[in-house]
Structure formats: C-alpha cells, structure tokens
Structure 1
Amino acid sequence: MTRVVVVDDQTLVRQGIRGLLDVAGIDVVGEADDGAAALDTITEVEPDVVLLDLRMPGHDGIWALEQLRDRGMDVPVLVLTTFDDDTLVLEALRAGARGYLLKDVTLDQLTRAVETLAGGGTMIAPSITDRLVRAVQSGASPVGADAPPVQELTEREVEVLRLVAEGYNNREISEVLYLAEGTVKNHVSTILVKLCARDRTNAVLRALHDGILR
C-alpha cells in the first residue's frame, strides 16, 4: 500500500483528502499544516509520496520543497493546490516537485498521480503543461540561468521523454514502445545525463526550455 503524507494548512481539507485516499486504498501515514511541520513528519514516517499545498502560513510549500532538496531528502512531492499562476508553477518545479495538480481533480486522477509518483514517474496536469509551454514561449526560463548546455537526444530518447512528460512510468513506456522495461530505464538514465537533469520533472523542464519538446 502506498504511504502518503498530506500537507495543507486547512484541517478540513486534510481530513477530506485522507478520507478519499482511504477509499482508494492509499494509506495516509501523516499530516502537517505547514512546511516546517512537514519536514518533521516526512523525516519521521518516510512516506512514498507527499501531497503538498503551496500557500500556507509560516513556512510555505516552496520553502518545504527547497529544504527537502537541500537536505537530499529524495521523496516524490505532488503539489496539490488551488493556485495555477505561471510563477508558482515554475517555482515549485524548479524546487523539485515531481507533480503539479489543481484541487479540482477527480479522485481517480489524484490516485493515478500518487501511484505514478510512487512508481518513479511524474504527473503534471495538461493545463499546467500548456501554461509552461506558453511561459517558455514568452521568454520565461523554467531552469536556472546557470544551467549547463544539453546534449542532443536520439529519436528514441525523445519518444521516451515525451511519454515521461505525459506522466507515464517506465513500465507503461515499455508497453507503449514495445521495449523491455530495463531498456526504458536505461534510456531515462541517459536522458537525465544528457539534459543535466536531477530527475524526470527537471528533464521535462529542460526539454521545454531547449525546444526538444513542443
């Protein structure tokens, strides 16, 4: 059973998410109401996935993401928020979020996202991806200004990366492309190296920034 920590400053929202995930067979093993409490809870229970709101009093979600990254705590974080402005989306993904959904998702969509991140994948709502593309087209950079240059990807690597951007995990990619799962894993590893990316979400951002994915 996938183990989740829910971070949101509203008690009713946390209770609601817990109830829904219980129905879906996902175990909520901890709750927190701000970024600082989230770090303590994550350290204590070591969840498979963290559901994180962004706007919270005290230490917010971006602060929590940056702390997790700086401390080397490699837990997949799915942002679940009502805020979809371009700046927040870019901040969260730069800080290490591996998924970004709005709170108007269905239970099925939320469950799929949680399981996708637990399996090593990424999940960004299509509407959010569209906003990222528009932000890049308007000149906003989804990666740091000092990001190193990328290496050219093969056609197969681009195919794999496109499916990664759509939220597919390695097993699903192997089924779509008729490849062994180990081969897909090797392609993903090579993509991360070539794009100088720390994870799958960052690889998608680099690909958008450099025009590899459009």
Structure 2
Amino acid sequence: MLSPSSISREDDGKSSGKADLPRVAIVDDSENMHLFLKDLGDLGHFQMIGSFTNGAQALEGLPKVHPDLVFMDIRLPDMSGIECTYKLNAILPQLAIIILTGYPDGSTFFRSLLAGARGFLAKPVSGEELLKSIKDVLDGEIVLAKSVIPHLVQLVHRFRRLAHESNLSQREEEILSCIFQQFILTCIGFSKNWAFTQGGKLSPST
C-alpha cells in the first residue's frame, strides 16, 4: 500500500473550498485502511466524513452523513459487503459504492454489480488508485481491478461451453455469446471495438 505522503497535496490556491470536494466514507474492519484513507483525505483531495467497521453501523450512520462515495470491504464482521451494498442502495440509491477485496474474482465482481456497486478494487490498493477510482466513479464510470480480467475471461470460456452444450442453434449460441461478451467488455470499460478472441484474449475487433 503506497503511503499517502508520496501523493501531492491539493493546491489550496486552486481549490474552491471543502464544500466542493467529494464526500467519502469507508466501511471496513481494518484500522489500517481507515487511517490510510483518512491520511489521504487530509491531503485535500476529498472530505473523509465517515468511518464504519461493520454493516449495521454503516446502514445506520451513512444516511446521516450523506456521502457521495463509500469504499466497502467485501468481508465485514456481521454481513458481506455485497449484502450491505444491496441494502444501502435501497436507502441511498444515488450513493456510489466501491467494493474492496483481497480475493478478486469474476463471480464476486458480477454479484457486486448486481448489488449496485460501481467499482471493484483489489487489496492492497495504492493511494493513486483510490483517488482515481473516486474521480472515475463520480464521473459515471465503472472501476475494475485489472487482476479481475483473467477471471472474466474464464467466465467467457465457461459461458461458451455451456451455450455449446445446450440445445441452442448455432446462430442462437453466437448471439448469446456476443451479448455476454459485450456486457463484460462494457463492465470493464472497453469499447464495442474490442472483443474476446477464440483463445480468450482481448483484442481490437476489425
């Protein structure tokens, strides 16, 4: 984890005040992660307005502080981060949530998206990654750890195999595979001009 001290402080002369900074909170039972994010916020890039160590605290406290974005650990003492994300989205539908996990995989990524998360980062995460993810997600993008991409490729292979083993016609199989692949590419930020090759690699389409 990169120290916040290696990241430049926001220029106070160009800043229009704290009121204009993103309001960020964290739900994680790791004290180190809380301190790291607080130190990062102290540099002036965002306001750190809430720290919670479990899902129950977050569900009670976050509606009171109105954050723009929350970093959510996948493993909480009382519930999963995905369950907490789902419940928070029912209460605060405009809230942007980024899942933090030490065990990134494709299925967890999709479950996070279905719960309403807008980002998925793998621990350990650097200060630069956290700052970029805040900006990108609040700009409407979906953030995905690069380490998850190989797992998504495996899902493509699995889907192709299941589609091939079904009673679908070849044309139906091709259409479903295309839809599934484009969904994944959209999730990970690639344009429609990219595709998965037969070998499962990402390549610009022609």
- Please state how far the C-alpha of 1:162 moved relative to its aligned partner: 5.8
* TM score, norm. by length of structure 1: 0.62
- Tell me if structure 1 keeps the 8 A contact 2:89–2:95: no
Report whether the alignment pairs 1:26 with 2:46: yes
Whole-angstrom CA distance in 1 between matches of 2:190 and 2:43: 23
1:117 aligned residue: 137
2:188 aligned residue: 165
Match of 1:16 among 30, 36, 51: 36
Question: What is the total number of aligned residue pairs between the two structures?
Answer: 155
Whole-angstrom CA distance in 2 between matches of 1:92 and 1:99: 8
Pick closer, same or farther for the CA change 1:69–1:104 going to 2, 3 Å: same
- Please state how far the C-alpha of 1:15 moved relative to its aligned partner: 1.4
Whole-angstrom CA distance in 2 between matches of 1:106 and 1:72: 27
- Tell me if structure 1 keeps the 8 A contact 2:119–2:143: yes
Report whether the alignment pairs 1:46 with 2:66: yes
Whole-angstrom CA distance in 2 between matches of 1:18 and 1:137: 41
- Please state how far the C-alpha of 1:9 moved relative to its aligned partner: 0.9
Q: Which amino acid aligns with 2:115?
A: A
Whole-angstrom CA distance in 2 between matches of 1:167 and 1:73: 26
Q: Which moved more, 1:91-100 or 1:131-140?
A: 131-140
Q: Which amino acid aligns with 1:64?
A: C
Residue aligned with 1:17, SS: helix
Whichever of the two has the greater Rg, that structure is 2
- Tell me if structure 2 keeps the 8 A contact 1:124–1:167: no
Whole-angstrom CA distance in 2 between matches of 1:166 and 1:74: 21
Q: Which moved more, 1:43-52 or 1:86-95?
A: 86-95
Residue correspondence of structure 1 range 1-214 to structure 2 within 5 A = 1-23=21-43, 25-71=45-91, 73-139=93-159, 165-166=188-189
- Tell me if structure 1 keeps the 8 A contact 2:63–2:91: no
* Residue ranges of structure 2 left out of the alignment (5+ in a row): 1-20, 161-174, 192-203
RMSD over aligned Cα, in angstroms? 3.1
| Deviation sequence 1:26-57 (CA, Å, 0-9, x none) | 21100111112112222011111110001011
Whole-angstrom CA distance in 2 between matches of 1:16 and 1:123: 20
- Please state how far the C-alpha of 1:104 moved relative to its aligned partner: 2.3
